[in-house]
Amino acid sequence: MGLIMLILIGTVPTAYALNHAVTFKESQDFIAVSQQAANALDHYVEPDAVIGDARDDVTDYIRTKQFNANTMLAMRTLVNDIGNETTIYRELKNVPNDRVRNFRNDLYLVSEALRLTQKSGQPKFSAADAAILANYKKHVDRSTRFIPTWVKVAVAMALGLGTMVGWKRIVVTVGEKIGKEHLTYAQGAAAEITAMATIGAADGFGLPVSTTHVLSSGIAGTMAANHSGIQMSTVRNLALAWVLTLPVAMVLSGSLFWLFRKIF
Amino acid sequence: MATASSVLDAKISRSPGKIGMIVFGIVLVIGFAYAGSHLLSDLSTIHNESVLPYVLLGVALLVALAFEFVNGFHDTANAVATVIYTHSLEPHVAVVWSGFWNFLGVMASSGLVAFAIVSLLPVELILQVGNKAGFAMVFALLVAAIIWNLGTWYFGLPASSSHTLIGSVIGVGIANQMMSPKTGTSGVDWGQAANIGKSLLLSPLVGFGVAALLLLLAKSLIKDEKLYRAPEDTQPPPFLYPLSAGTDLHRREFLPRLQ
Task: Quickly list DSSP for B45-57.
Answer: T---S-SHHHHHH
Higher-confidence position of B15 and B166: B166
Is residue A10 pLDDT above 80, yes or no? yes
CA distance B73 to chain A (A): 5
- Could you report how far apart the first and last alpha carbons of chain A are, in Å? 25
Is B8 within 8 Å of A148 when comparing Cβ atoms?
no
Task: State residue B15's pLDDT score.
Answer: 66
The residue-averaged pLDDT of B133-162 equals 92
Nearest-by-Cβ selection for B160 from A184, A245, A253: A245
Mean pLDDT (chain A) is 89
In sign, the C-alpha dihedral spanning B121, B191, A221, B235 is negative
The residue-averaged pLDDT of A14-30 equals 91
Nearest-by-Cβ selection for B253 from A203, A218, A246: A203
Nearest-by-Cβ selection for A59 from B124, B176, B246: B124
Is A229 within 8 Å of chain B by CB? Answer: no
The band of B175, judged by pLDDT with boundaries at 50, 70 and 90, is very high
Is residue A103 pLDDT above 90, yes or no? yes
Is A225 within 8 Å of chain B by CB? Answer: yes
Query: What value of ipTM does the predicted structure carry?
Result: 0.87
Single-letter amino acid, residue B241:
Y
Is residue B64 pLDDT above 90, yes or no? yes
Contacts B130 to A, Cβ<8 Å:
9-11, 13, 101
CA A180 distance to own-chain centroid: 40
Task: State residue B16's pLDDT score.
Answer: 65
The band of B184, judged by pLDDT with boundaries at 50, 70 and 90, is low
Task: State residue B105's pLDDT score.
Answer: 74
The residue-averaged pLDDT of B64-85 equals 84
The residue-averaged pLDDT of B107-129 equals 79
CA distances from B148 to A241, A250, B136 (A): 10, 11, 18
Is residue B73 within 8 A of residue B153, CB to CB? The reply is yes
Is A9 within 8 Å of B129 when comparing Cβ atoms?
yes
CA dihedral angle for residue B71, residue B77, residue B78, residue B82, rounded to 10 degrees: 170
CA atoms within 13 A on the CB side of B254: 26
Task: State residue B248's pLDDT score.
Answer: 47
The residue-averaged pLDDT of A144-169 equals 87
3-class SS shares of chain A: helix, strand, coil, % to 5: 80, 0, 20
Is A159 within 8 Å of B103 when comparing Cβ atoms?
yes
The residue-averaged pLDDT of B104-133 equals 80
Share of chain B above pLDDT 70, in %: 83
Is A95 within 8 Å of chain B by CB? Answer: no
- The string of pLDDT tens digits covering residues A198-216 is 876 766 676 777 888 888 9
State the pTM of this model: 0.87
Is B237 within 8 Å of A189 when comparing Cβ atoms?
yes
The residue-averaged pLDDT of B126-138 equals 88
Is residue B61 pLDDT above 80, yes or no? yes
- In which element (H, E) is residue B106 found? helix B91-108
Lowest mean pLDDT among A208-217, B35-44, B151-160: A208-217
Is residue B132 pLDDT above 50, yes or no? yes
Task: State residue B2's pLDDT score.
Answer: 42
Is A71 within 8 Å of chain B by CB? Answer: no
The band of B171, judged by pLDDT with boundaries at 50, 70 and 90, is very high
CB contact residues (below 8 A), chain A span 174-213, against chain B: 174-177, 181-200, 202-203, 206-213
The band of B247, judged by pLDDT with boundaries at 50, 70 and 90, is very low
The band of B1, judged by pLDDT with boundaries at 50, 70 and 90, is very low
Is residue B250 pLDDT above 70, yes or no? no
Is residue B31 within 8 A of residue A154, CB to CB? The reply is yes
Three-class DSSP category at B56: helix
Is A159 within 8 Å of chain B by CB? Answer: yes
